[in-house]
Chain A
Amino acid sequence: MWGDRRGERRGSRRRGSLVGGALGVAAIIIVTVVLGLAGTGGVYALWDASATAPGATITTGSIGLTVAGRESAVLTGLDGPLAPGAQVSASVTLHNTGSVPLSVGVASTTGSAPLADALTLRAAAVPVGTSCPTSAGTTGALVGYVARQLVTLPADGSEDLCLVLALDGSAPVTLAGTSADLGLTITGDQA
């Protein structure tokens, strides 16, 4: 009897331990998943809204961005020729081809070179067809240039990206006749 009671007590303690362990693991998983989903923020809400519509087709959103109607564009308007202290400008139309709003930023991929190092870039977003503003936008050295959240494009929305390139007023005359390879990446992040 004693042996049976001890056995029941041992069995009861073992069951208690297993139950407690399972609860602990479940708690960890729940906390972790909640934290993980919290990390996805709006994404979770978007997907959640689509998934719970009764009888509706579950579709994902689309995302896309074009410059002058293509994935890449060459801007000859920035070719110059540039004089010290002078600037050239060109505009290109950005279009959000996706179904979600995009926050647009510009980053330079231009490598360091004598002329590139003496160039300053100003980027600004303006309504399509509008001329470049005289001072608005984000200004910085061309090499390493980054401008975040220049504009938010709604789905199927367009804006003109105005680029103003200026040669430093103290650029040495040894730069005369030289050129630079300008590269800019236009990034659209879901807003």
Chain B
Amino acid sequence: MTRRRTTLVVTLTLAVLLVLGTVGVASAAWRTQASVSGTPMAGTVGLTVAGFDGLGGTLSSGTPLSGAVTVSNTGGLELTSLTATVAVAGTGTGSVSVAVWPVTSSTTDCGSVPSAVTSGTWASAVPSWLSGATLAAGGTATYCFRATTTSTSAAMVTPTVTVTGHAATWATAPVASTFTETVPAPTSPTTVTPAQAGIAPGNASTTVPSVTFPVDADGTLSNPYYFCVDVTVAPAAGSAVWSLRIDTTKPPYNSLPPASGWRWETDVTVSGPTQGILTVAGGRSNATITAPLVVRFCVTQKAAAPIMDAGPGTYSVSTPQLASCSDRTRAASRYDACVWTDVTGLYPHFYIGFHYQFVLADVVNASSLGSELKGQLLKDTLSGVEGGGGGIAATGGGTPYTVTVTSDGVGPSEGAITGGMTRTLKARLTSNG
């Protein structure tokens, strides 16, 4: 029995080993392998925005603010959409209009507005500014912004524009830009800078903190042909022997000789004029000052109303309009094209000078003329300004071609305006096309 069992166990073991050995060798011999490797990477998303700081500043009727804003994709993925939001703080935020349009270069002069732009207030235009835009990885896009106002009321607009880029469900970190645009309050002609009144310190030890025109009890200057000037002089340091220079050739004196119509209500010593300059010093009682001193003099203009250059805010300028030179209700033609503008005075007490400018391409593109005629008129240059009387100068030049109109403010019949008065000016164009 023992021998038989031993024989059986050995036999079975050999058989099993044989079977397993047979199967095992067969499996190992008939499989082969190769390998593939790679380094898949998730892309990055990033965005920069530059240029909004150039849109901060002061704008007024006829003086827009413009600049280029560049959006750059700094990530490795295409930004398949871009969104812009805006929060606008300040006062009078609706009085500033903005136009936005794409350009091909960040060095583009944004002074000329094409016919198709996104426009509105900062609050309404910005959200649609980047609608439908995409930006390839590493790519940039540049947009021109131009802010304008026709308001003559003070306003301060502080937009915070936030731009975000999207690649599928991923978004870049939002990029916020904040800047402030200011529309100055109307400048009262009764408060001017010394330079506007032709006044400057006569020596280094004198300063001129302020120049005002004293008003009547009702707050107005009731008689535009007779006015007084209060000049505050102060020592630059400690005590000073003060001195003033008054340029009598400037508005509102209009080269009126001191001997004819000037009256000094402060103890002063006057010499000149030499080449139009009066030199004024203190009298015996106040030649040396240690504190501010108000020097008052009054001028009678007799037949001529006084004129001064009070600057923007004392008048308004309408949007320039392209039309026929003979009738502004008729469309312009190739050889009959004028740019019409109305300048209206806002203050009743002085005749004031003014200035404004416009980009010819803006005016042409804003018209309803056909594209062929527009193309011809865009080659035009300024011939001259008509309708404002004398004393109005106009120049044209630059790229884009810009027309600047100024009133030298010499005499009411020579281009200046006063409260309620409107001068309609037409800048005639010469065809070069």
Which A residues contact B (CB, under 8 angstroms)? 17, 21, 24-25, 28-29, 32-33, 35-37, 39-40, 43, 60, 63-67, 70-86, 88, 90, 92, 94, 98, 100, 102, 109, 115, 119, 161, 163, 165, 167, 169-171, 173, 175-190
Contact = CB atoms under 8 A, between A and B. Distances in A.
Given A39-B23, A75-B36, A81-B44, 13 more contacts: A24-B8, A25-B7, A33-B18, A65-B32, A67-B36, A71-B34, A80-B40, A80-B41, A82-B43, A176-B43, A177-B76, A183-B35, A186-B35
A146 to B, nearest CB: 14
A43 B26 CA distance: 7
A152 to B, nearest CB: 14
A181 B217 CA distance: 87
A74 B38 contact: yes
A175 to B, nearest CB: 5
Contacts of A78: 38-40
Given A37-B22, A170-B169, A79 B32 contact: no
A163 B16 CA distance: 44
Contacts of B44: 81, 176-177
Contact of A188 (B11, B16, B33, B45): B33
Given A73-B36, A98-B32, A169-B169, A82 B19 contact: no
Given A40-B26, A86-B168, A66 B34 contact: yes
B38 A90 contact: yes
B259 interface: no
Instruction: Give the 4 A-B residue pairs with the shortest CB-CB distance, closest first.
Output: A36-B19, A81-B43, A190-B30, A32-B15
Interface of B: 4, 7-8, 11-12, 14-16, 18-20, 22-23, 26, 29-45, 75-78, 137, 167-171
Nearest to B29: A63
Contacts of B171: 173
A84 B166 CA distance: 11
A115 B37 contact: no
Given A65-B34, A67-B36, A188-B31, A167 B42 contact: yes
A71 B32 CA distance: 10
* Most chain A beta-carbon contacts within 10 A, residue among B31, B34, B75, B167: B34
A53 to B, nearest CB: 20
A176 B18 CA distance: 58
B174 to A, nearest CB: 13
Contacts of B170: 83-84, 173, 176
Contacts of B32: 63-65, 98, 102, 187-188
Contact of A85 (B19, B22, B33, B169): B169
B11 A71 contact: no
Contacts of A167: 42
Nearest to B168: A84
Contact of A115 (B14, B33, B35, B40): B40
A186 B41 CA distance: 22
A153 B155 CA distance: 79
B37 A183 contact: yes
B42 A181 contact: no
B39 A182 contact: yes
Nearest to B16: A32
Contacts of A102: 32
A184 B11 contact: no
B43 A36 contact: no
Nearest to A169: B169
B136 to A, nearest CB: 13
21 contacts: A32-B18, A36-B18, A36-B23, A37-B19, A40-B22, A72-B34, A81-B76, A82-B40, A83-B77, A83-B168, A92-B36, A109-B35, A173-B169, A173-B170, A176-B43, A176-B170, A177-B43, A180-B40, A184-B37, A187-B33, A188-B32
A35 B20 CA distance: 10
Given A35-B19, A39-B23, A82 B34 contact: no
Given A84-B169, A184-B35, A176 B26 contact: no
Contacts of B23: 36, 39-40
A102 B8 CA distance: 41
Contacts of A94: 34
Nearest to A32: B15
Contact of A39 (B15, B19, B167): B19
* Most chain A beta-carbon contacts within 10 A, residue among B14, B19, B30: B30
Given A80-B42, A82-B42, A100-B30, A181 B168 contact: no
Nearest to A161: B36
Nearest to B75: A176
Contact of B43 (A72, A74, A80, A180): A80
B22 A169 contact: no
Contacts of A100: 30
A83 B167 contact: yes
A100 B171 CA distance: 53
A9 B7 CA distance: 24
A78 B37 CA distance: 9
A74 B8 CA distance: 56
A35 B168 CA distance: 60
Nearest to B11: A25
Given A65-B33, A71-B34, A169-B168, A28 B12 contact: yes
B37 A75 contact: yes
A149 to B, nearest CB: 13
Nearest to A114: B42
A29 B20 CA distance: 13
Given A81-B76, A177-B43, A178-B42, A186 B34 contact: yes
B426 to A, nearest CB: 58
Nearest to A175: B42
